[in-house]
């Protein structure tokens, strides 16, 4: 069944006829295949899926940072990749303002060189690691992850980095280390809103050790084949694709290993709204709105239907067992 005619003249079949998790072609040759009705067959083949998973072009202005295709299960979604211009102009980075357009306008003041990340706490090899040390520590991979913001929108972004587990193994946590705290930059000289009272600065996030060690948790240096734009958390951030976006701290300066659950910025600001876990969960509403559906950035046209939000943002097969036996309504 053909469901809609795009204004570029191409026609594509209902996504339900392709894969459950909807594939919207990103490449012209595939669009042509679709127009001829061969889409279903093409999608079913690995070649077709691979073509769809190609990363979209970046800015063309930032330094290239390419990653090899990742072998981590779940590291690639076949959904259409969000346009670079959307992913880099619709942001949450409160240090640069609370409006979605603010970070892209203001984050040019962020000074990303030199950059060091301090590793401290319950770890055998603490110390200051330069960005260069971190970049060299493991091979860069490209991971195409969905990122679902707690506010009800989502994107699909080709991130570049490697599993945080690689770094954790290198610095050798002590047996007592149960959690990791991520402290992000809070520099009032370059970040105009660090003085604001919305949050307690610095922006702090945290993960349980097994979450931090999960191969999907990405220590991220780039996106769309280039280094991260400042507004997306340059020069290094975390991306945890099964949790609400605010768990993915930007511009990290300190990683602390601890025996206690870290006090995180959003949990401190509103504990009844933002839990420590914050796993994407369509069955647990935010106190002020439903989490059952989401809006995909870039699909805001006349025909755009809201998408159903998936348990663990679609990564349940990979991460569900981390929470076996836990009451996810209580531990939201
Ligand atoms: N330091 C810092 N990190 C942050 C935030 C922030 O305000 N400050 N916002 C978070 C939120 S709410 C989201 S949804 C994601 C957005 O990442 P993106 O702009 O790269 O899509 O970053 C997260 N990391
Ligand atoms: Mo968010």
Let me know if residue 2 belongs to a domain: no
Distance 324 CA to ligand 2 centre (A): 25
Whether residue 329 is annotated as binding a ligand: the answer is no
User: Does residue 88 have its Cβ closer than 6 Å to ligand 1?
Assistant: no
| Average pLDDT of every residue of the chain | 89
Please name the residues in contact with 187: beta carbons below 8 A apart, sequence gap of 6 or more.
194
* Chain centroid, CA 308 distance in Å: 18
Question: Was 113 annotated as part of a binding site?
Answer: no
Q: Per the omega criterion (within 30 degrees of 0), is the bond before 33 cis?
A: no
Q: Is 92 in the pocket of ligand 1 (CB under 6 A)?
A: yes
CATH of the domain at 147: 3.90.420.10
CA distances from 278 to 251, 263, 321 (A): 20, 14, 16
Angle at 159 between CA 185 and CA 184, to 5 degrees: 10
Lowest mean pLDDT among 12-21, 43-52, 208-217: 12-21
Quote the DSSP letter at residue 267.
H
Residue 147, beta-bridge partner list = 155
Instruction: Write out pLDDT tens, residues 218-246.
Output: 999 999 999 999 999 999 999 999 999 99
Comparing 277 with 6, the larger pLDDT belongs to: 277
Give the pLDDT mean for 73-94: 97
Does the residue 227 lie in any domain?
A: yes
Question: For residue 9, is it within any domain?
Answer: no
Distance 29 CA to ligand 2 centre (A): 34
Secondary structure of residue 133 in the 3-state scheme: helix
Q: pLDDT confidence of 300, banded at 50, 70, 90?
A: confident
The answer to whether residue 10 is domain-embedded is: no
Domain assignment of residue 263, given as a range: 15-323
In the numeric block, which tokens belong to residue 37? 């009705």
Q: Which of 143, 79, 1, 71 is nearest to 310 (CA)?
A: 79
- Position with higher pLDDT, 118 vs 40: 118
C-alpha pair distances (Å), 52 with each of 33, 128, 158, 200: 12, 40, 12, 41
User: Is 5 part of any domain?
Assistant: no
Tally of domains in the chain: 1
Task: Note the pLDDT of residue 56.
Answer: 87
pLDDT computed for residue 302 by the predictor: 73
Tell me if 108 is assigned to some domain.
yes
Our answer on whether the CB atom of 313 is closer than 6 Å to any ligand 1 atom is no
Q: Decide if 331 is inside a domain.
A: no
* Ligand 1 center–CA 92 separation, angstroms: 5
DSSP alpha helix (H) spans, the chain: 28-35, 39-44, 46-52, 84-87, 102-106, 131-137, 164-171, 209-213, 265-269, 316-319
Q: Is the pLDDT of residue 31 over 70?
A: no
Task: State whether the beta carbon of 249 lies less than 6 angstroms from ligand 1.
Answer: yes
Q: State the average pLDDT over residues 108-112.
A: 98
Asked if residue 81 belongs to a domain, the reply is: yes
The backbone torsions φ and ψ at residue 181, rounded to the nearest 5 degrees and listed phi first, read: -105, 135
pLDDT in tens, 140-159: 999 999 999 999 999 999 99
15 neighbors 23 (Cβ within 8 angstroms): yes
């Amino acid at each position: 069944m053909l469901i809609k005619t795009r204004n570029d003249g191409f026609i594509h079949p209902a996504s339900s006829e392709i894969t459950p998790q909807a594939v919207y072609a990103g490449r012209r040759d595939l669009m042509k295949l679709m127009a001829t009705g061969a889409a279903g067959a093409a999608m079913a083949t690995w070649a077709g899926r691979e073509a769809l998973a190609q990363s979209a072009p970046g800015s063309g202005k930032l330094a290239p940072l390419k990653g090899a295709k990742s072998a981590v299960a779940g590291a690639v979604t076949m959904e259409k990749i969000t346009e670079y211009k959307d992913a880099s102009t619709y942001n949450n980075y409160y240090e640069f303002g609370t409006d979605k357009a603010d970070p892209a306008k203001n984050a040019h003041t962020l000074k990303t060189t030199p950059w060091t990340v301090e590793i401290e706490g319950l770890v055998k090899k603490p110390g200051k690691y330069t960005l260069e040390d971190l970049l060299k520590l493991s091979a860069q991979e490209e991971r195409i992850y969905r990122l679902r913001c707690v506010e009800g929108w989502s994107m699909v972004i080709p991130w570049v980095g490697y599993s945080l587990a690689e770094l954790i193994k290198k610095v050798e946590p002590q047996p007592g280390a149960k959690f990791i705290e991520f402290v992000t930059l809070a520099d009032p000289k370059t970040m105009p809103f660090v003085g604001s009272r919305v949050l307690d600065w610095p922006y702090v996030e945290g993960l349980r050790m097994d979450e931090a060690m999960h191969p999907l948790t990405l220590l991220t240096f780039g996106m769309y084949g280039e280094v991260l734009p400042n507004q997306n958390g340059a020069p290094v951030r975390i991306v945890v694709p099964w949790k609400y976006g605010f768990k993915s701290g930007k511009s990290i300066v300190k990683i602390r290993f601890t025996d206690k659950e870290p006090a995180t910025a959003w949990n401190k600001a509103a504990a009844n709204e933002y839990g420590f876990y914050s796993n994407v969960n369509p069955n647990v509403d935010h106190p002020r709105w439903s989490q059952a559906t989401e809006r995909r950035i870039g699909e805001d046209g006349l025909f755009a239907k809201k998408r159903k939000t998936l348990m663990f943002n679609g990564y349940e097969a990979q991460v569900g067992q981390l929470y076996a036996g836990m009451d996810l309504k209580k531990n939201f």
